[in-house]
Amino acid sequence: MVREGLETTLLFYAAAQGATTTTTPLVAISAGVLTAVVVGAGLYAGAIRIDLSRFFTVSGVLLVFVAAGILKYGVHDFQEAGVLPGLDVLAFDVSGVLDPTSWYGATIAGMFHITAAPTVLETVAYVAYLLPVLAAFLWPARTPAAAPQPPGATPARTTSSQSETTEHVRA
């Protein structure tokens, strides 16, 4: 808990120091912290009920995209260092649609490391990671099969107290 508070303090300090010409970084981090407080208070109060299965599925998918972006970013750094080839070979250029200086371009680049003009090797690494990991993550979990009953066996019956306990647990 102390570490997160210290990190938040450092982020606020950096935003305040960087806000010499504009207050945008300070406003953005303040809005983010305020949003987190409101959502946290709402969850604590029980006002916001969410399906945890869906929540963790969506957040897991976003994390897979973030991890693919980090891999792409690492490949680009290796290309800039001369360890990997192909820094000049672009896969595509969508600078006209994804302006890196716009707020949405900066958000996408900041969260997912997606750039408007990636190299072929960056794109291959991104897709080669993203597709199998995303498929493995979203693949439905197999439920264990019920143990087969021996021939002639009758299913186990529950007593009324077991049924009441089961109903109480379900509620």
What phi, psi does 139 have (nearest 5°)? -60, 130
Question: Are both 56 and 133 inside the same structural domain?
Answer: yes
150 in any annotated domain: no
Helix (H) or strand (E) holding 16: helix 2-18
Distance, CA of 113 to CA of 75 (rounded, Å): 11
pLDDT of residue 50: 77
pLDDT of residue 122: 96
Question: Are both 84 and 18 inside the same structural domain?
Answer: no
Question: Are both 3 and 45 inside the same structural domain?
Answer: yes
149 in any annotated domain: no
Distance, CA of 92 to CA of 123 (rounded, Å): 9
Local confidence pLDDT in tens for the 171 residues of the chain? 678 878 878 877 877 776 677 777 778 878 888 998 998 888 888 777 778 888 899 999 999 999 999 999 999 999 999 999 999 999 999 988 888 888 888 888 888 888 889 999 999 999 999 999 999 999 987 777 666 666 766 655 555 555 555 455 554
Question: Are both 92 and 15 inside the same structural domain?
Answer: no
Kindly report the pTM of this predicted structure: 0.62
Distance, CA of 66 to CA of 74 (rounded, Å): 12
Range of the structural domain that residue 61 is part of: 52-140
pLDDT of residue 147: 64
Cβ(122)–Cβ(76) below 8 Å: yes
pLDDT of residue 102: 85
Question: Are both 66 and 132 inside the same structural domain?
Answer: yes
Question: Are both 76 and 126 inside the same structural domain?
Answer: yes
pLDDT of residue 103: 84
12 in any annotated domain: yes
